[in-house]
Amino acid sequence: MEIKDILKQFKIKGDVISVAPLGHGHINDTRLVTTDREKYTFQRINTDVFKNPEELMENLVAVTEYLKANYPNDKTINYVKTLDGKNYLTCDSGCYRLSVYIDEVISLDNARSADDFYESAVTFGNFQRKLSGFPADTLHETIKDFHNTAWRLQNLKTAVRKDVCGRLKNVLKEVDFCLARAGKIETGVTLPLRVTHNDTKLNNVLLDEKTGKGACVIDLDTVMPGLSINDFGDSIRFGASTAKEDERDLDKVHFSLELFEAYTRGYFDGVGDALTEQEIDLLPHGAVMMTYECGMRFLTDYLEGDTYFKTQYADHNLVRAHTQFKLVYEMEQSYDKMREIVNKYRK
Ligand code: GN1
Ligand code: MG
């Protein structure tokens, strides 16, 4: 089906004027649809990754409806239903959803300053706090074991054993780097199950274009039951780096304690007293683990022939893995300082 015909299946206002690419996601295809009355975000859901779009959309609608009911003055995503009242449309060319475009905001791949990162932290902290009353166990686990780092390591080992593309010879050191950290994964502590976002990258928070204040959390696909320390950690992984996730020149890639501090301060300003002491103690661990895990996922995908993440060139996933491992190494060196910073801001 053509895009214009797909769009006609939704309760869309006005006549479509244009459809243009939007954002830099690695998984879904996203477009901006402009009509003569409204702007929309239109997405093709990647069903190789999200195998159950029904459950995925149930999660998203449940969480956004809860936020709207309890925090009516805050911005959140409004999904547009199909003509027959469904949350998404399935047709011969895939699975699609539509939401009202949030205007006068920006999404950043790199913080322009520590203030941007602070704002994203307040917004993700708020998100965690506002959803602390939502029963996490009623959400579907749409991607099983998504942040199960031990399982991600098993996947890497399988990819190493199979070496389907003959790329293993290029990454022996990187594989050793991952194996050497296997013993650090388990904490021996059981943390509370939370409603978590699971993809807390800086570019998944919209900032008000005029004030720079955090406006809204987006990209809710991976909202699931999970651990708060992973959401904190994934933000640090992406945003406390001095370079892009796919910077080839590793001399430019550093873990910034200044950015870590800005995020930690903002996160506590947002999350308030919604976390337990054990969760707070393990926030630095979450940072290291999410970075290690993401690097492992990129490395595994490289070995498997780039079947999961979208790539722009042959060793794109390897370049991404390298930035993550550099950050892991530097975080390990700064671990005590990270703990001091957490202790400075904990409420
Ligand atoms: C993917 O699609 P995007 O870019 O928001 C991935 C995350 C990774 C991230 C790395 C469903 O997110 O888990 O951390 O790439 N999402 C999924 O940039 O696998
Ligand atoms: Mg995402």
For 44, 47, 198, the CA distances from 51, given in Å and listed in that order, are 13, 5, 17
Q: Which ligand is nearest to the CA of 241?
A: 1
Q: Which ligand is nearest to the CA of 293?
A: 1
CA distance 300 to 294: 10
The yes-or-no verdict on residue 1 having pLDDT over 90 is no
> Which tens digit of pLDDT belongs to each residue from 208-243?
999 999 999 999 999 999 999 999 999 999 999 999
SS3 (DSSP) at 11: coil
The yes-or-no verdict on residue 172 having pLDDT over 90 is yes
Q: Which ligand is nearest to the CA of 290?
A: 1
Domain ranges of the chain: 3-103, 114-345
Residues 343, 282 contacting (CB under 8 angstroms)? no
Among residues of the chain, what percentage have pLDDT more than 70? 100
Q: What are phi and psi of 105, to 5 degrees?
A: -135, 165
| pLDDT in the model for residue 23 | 86
| pLDDT in the model for residue 130 | 97
Report CA(313)–ligand 2 centroid distance (Å): 20
Which helix (H) or strand (E) covers residue 216, if one does? strand 214-217
Residue 291: alpha-carbon gap to chain centroid: 12
CA torsion, ordered 305, 311, 312, 314, to nearest 10 deg: -20
Residues 291, 229 contacting (CB under 8 angstroms)? no
| pLDDT in the model for residue 110 | 87
For 141, 232, 321, the CA distances from 161, given in Å and listed in that order, are 28, 33, 19
Q: Which ligand is nearest to the CA of 49?
A: 1
Residue 148: alpha-carbon gap to chain centroid: 15
Give the CA radius of gyration of the chain.
Answer: 20
CA distance 115 to 261: 11
Among residues of the chain, what percentage have pLDDT more than 90? 96
Report CA(26)–ligand 1 centroid distance (Å): 6
Q: Beta 39-45 vs 29-35: how paired, if at all?
A: antiparallel
Residues 321, 181 contacting (CB under 8 angstroms)? no
Ligand 1 pocket: which of 29, 197, 199 to mutate (most atoms within 8 A of CB): 199
104: left (phi over 0), alpha (psi -120 to 50) or beta: left
CA distance 315 to 147: 24
> Which tens digit of pLDDT belongs to each residue from 73-132?
999 999 999 999 999 999 999 999 999 999 999 999 888 999 999 999 999 999 999 999
Q: How does DSSP classify residue 254?
A: -
Report CA(226)–ligand 1 centroid distance (Å): 16
| pLDDT in the model for residue 347 | 81
245 lines ligand 1 (CB under 6 A): yes
Residue among 24, 45, 117, 120 at smallest CA distance from 320: 24
* Fold assignment, 114-345: Aminoglycoside 3'-phosphotransferase; Chain: A, domain 2 (3.90.1200)
* Bridge partners (DSSP) listed for residue 233: none
291 lines ligand 1 (CB under 6 A): no
> Which tens digit of pLDDT belongs to each residue from 246-267?
999 999 999 999 999 999 999 9
Atom of ligand 1 nearest to the CA of 237: 14
Task: For ligand 1, atom 1, name the residue with the nearest CA.
Answer: 26
Average of per-residue pLDDT values in the chain: 96
Q: What are phi and psi of 60, to 5 degrees?
A: -65, -45
29 lines ligand 1 (CB under 6 A): no
Report CA(216)–ligand 1 centroid distance (Å): 18
Report CA(130)–ligand 2 centroid distance (Å): 21
219 lines ligand 1 (CB under 6 A): yes
Query: What tokens does 164 get?
Result: 């389907």
Q: Which ligand is nearest to the CA of 224?
A: 1
Residues 200, 235 contacting (CB under 8 angstroms)? yes
Residue among 191, 195, 86, 190 at smallest CA distance from 138: 195
Q: What are phi and psi of 109, to 5 degrees?
A: -85, -25
27 lines ligand 1 (CB under 6 A): yes
CA distance 154 to 215: 38
The pTM of the full predicted model, rounded to 2 decimals, is 0.94
| pLDDT in the model for residue 24 | 81
Atom of ligand 1 nearest to the CA of 203: 5
| pLDDT in the model for residue 61 | 96
Report CA(25)–ligand 2 centroid distance (Å): 6
159: left (phi over 0), alpha (psi -120 to 50) or beta: alpha
Query: What tokens does 156 get?
Result: 């890497």
Task: For ligand 1, atom 15, name the residue with the nearest CA.
Answer: 26
Residue among 93, 165, 103, 162 at smallest CA distance from 318: 165
Residue 33: alpha-carbon gap to chain centroid: 23
* Fold assignment, 3-103: Phosphorylase Kinase; domain 1 (3.30.200)
> Which tens digit of pLDDT belongs to each residue from 298-318?
999 999 999 999 999 999 999
25 lines ligand 1 (CB under 6 A): yes
Report CA(148)–ligand 2 centroid distance (Å): 17
Query: What tokens does 101 get?
Result: 């475009």
